[in-house]
Structure 1
């Protein structure tokens, strides 16, 4: 017996009873489907290189924030030092990431992508950027702001939510 199809929302738009069980379940299910499709192409590219989603997350955030401290990366990813060490070690060994000592504290490790790492990060992100851009264009500015509010609302950590409070991202 197959899974029941979700009941579509009416042509008039969102159901005014959007907090009903069915609408909440649809939201959860949509997140699962969207994430599955959002990550499919990068997963295949990573698998060809013997890498996985944990590697993708590290590559993404190191690319997004060059010079990121290992401790800050641990905070972002919410994983153990042991887990990060395994993933980061492979990325350094494979030539995707470079670690340099901090200028004041030599024990501090700063992370940046190598040229090879930048090429991989761009390839992994390209499909995802196109998906987000297409969805944003189709939804319109008001819906994009609504989406951002919903995503901030799902985040548990107030520091994480504050990163998306409307100010331009750090680059």
Structure 2
């Protein structure tokens, strides 16, 4: 594929910014396509996927910790989490120090399902990284990090560096 890459400061022109935004939309569409197909068979959606992913990455996180991480309403999380618990994908365990806390863990079923969903995305991203090369990947990470609200970047960095 012949690529027309921006030169010098042309990447700040509106047309180049629109190109980048469109690429982000198209990349997200394809990044979520395979997991969406798997999720459709289970009557789950992207919110379920995000909960499975982040509970898997943060075993023992609290409900409030997950709310803070995902930036969703308590009502939205309650519905999604309730389905995942009821269907045996997530366990809620009372906290040792504070029995009111609910600590979240993936069950074996949840771990297997999250791994299946992750594998489709891992393959897509690994292939893109291989084609782009290490310098491009570093630049991509830098761009993504700078899209994150500045006041949240440190928290995001702590999360991804686990």
Q: Using structure 1 for the length normalisation, give the TM-score.
A: 0.88
For 2:160 and 2:102, how far apart are their aligned partners in 1?
26
Aligned-pair CA distance for 1:163: 3.2
8 Å Cα contact 2:92/2:104 also seen in 1:
yes
Q: Which residue of 2 aligns with 1:3?
A: none
Q: Which residue of 2 aligns with 1:156?
A: 149
Question: SS state of the match for residue 14, structure 1?
Answer: coil
Q: Quick one: structure 1 residues 57 and 168, their matched pair in 2 at CA, closer, same or farther if it must change by over 3 Å?
A: closer
Question: SS state of the match for residue 89, structure 1?
Answer: helix
Question: SS state of the match for residue 72, structure 2?
Answer: coil
Q: Which residue of 2 aligns with 1:93?
A: 86
Q: Quick one: structure 1 residues 150 and 168, their matched pair in 2 at CA, closer, same or farther if it must change by over 3 Å?
A: closer
- Mapping for residues 54-93 of structure 1, pairs under 5 Å: 54-93=47-86
8 Å Cα contact 2:94/2:103 also seen in 1:
yes
Query: After the TM superposition, which of the residue ranges 136-145 and 92-101 deviates more from structure 2?
Result: 136-145
- Mapping for residues 9-158 of structure 1, pairs under 5 Å: 9=4, 13-16=5-8, 17-158=10-151
By percentage of residues, which structure has more helix?
2
Aligned-pair CA distance for 1:37: 0.3
8 Å Cα contact 1:155/1:161 also seen in 2:
no
Aligned-pair CA distance for 1:131: 1.0
| Equivalent residue pairs, number | 160
